[in-house]
Amino acid sequence: MAERFRAFVRHFPERLMACRHYAMTLAAAGFRPEGLVRVRVPNVGIRNVIRVDPNRIDFYCSVPVKPRRGSRFFIGGDWDVPKLPMAEVETDNPKFVTCRQLLVEHLAPEETAEFKMLVGVLDSRGGYRGCGSREEIRNYVENLARMYAGIRDRGYLPRAHFGGTRYSGEIECALDRDGNLIKINAGNHRFAAARILGLKSVPVQLCFVHEAHFPAVARAAGEGTFLARLNAFIGTVERRYS
């Protein structure tokens, strides 16, 4: 009970932000499509945690947006242009490589790609992800191994199981201009494990959508409010990737 209360207090600012953004959405959007550009997340009125098959996501892109701190839900520009095929990411990205090395190849922490990468960062910068020594980096990789084993043995648990909220904290994804659901930013370790373990359904956070989808949102739910249309549009994305 005490831990659940601490989790509630820790995530209270996030809940408050989600309520504030909902009020802003009601004031700015309504039936007017021009208001969509002002819709922000996290938002209690937007059902943007969806369940998808992680192996159906074919692209990855690192985007300079921090959804947990609050961001626009529709973002234009070329943020989706640098996306990479997941096959390339799983070959070259140390986080994805390390997941396979721990889950499949059963390497020791010191032999993994992420350990070696973090040691290089430690030597050049003096620390990374709170690790200030090789021993702390080893502990970090060992914790990853325990997390992967937990997903393998008990299944994938949503963030709410650990005291989080439904507004953020899941594997982060976005919808590009072409309608591709792509992996972005946070949750790489969990996403890598889900793919390697062949899980068919995991919760992901649809953090934002390219502005090119404004017309599709407007058509999504007939005469409903734009918030209802937006949720209906998100539902189409979920069905396409489930």
How many domains does the chain fold into? 1
First-to-final CA distance of the chain: 35
pLDDT of the chain, 242 residues: tens digit per residue: 566 566 666 777 888 999 999 888 777 655 555 667 778 999 999 999 999 999 999 999 999 988 888 899 999 999 999 999 999 999 999 999 999 999 999 999 999 999 999 999 998 887 777 888 999 999 999 999 999 999 999 999 988 777 777 878 899 999 999 999 999 999 999 999 999 999 999 999 999 999 999 888 877 765 567 788 889 999 999 999 99
The domain in which residue 232 lies consists of: 2-241
Q: What pTM was computed for the model? A: 0.90
Q: What is the DSSP string of 6-70?
A: HHHHHHHHHHHHHHHHHHHHHHHTTT-GGGGGG-EES-TT---EEEE-GGG--EEE--S--GGG-
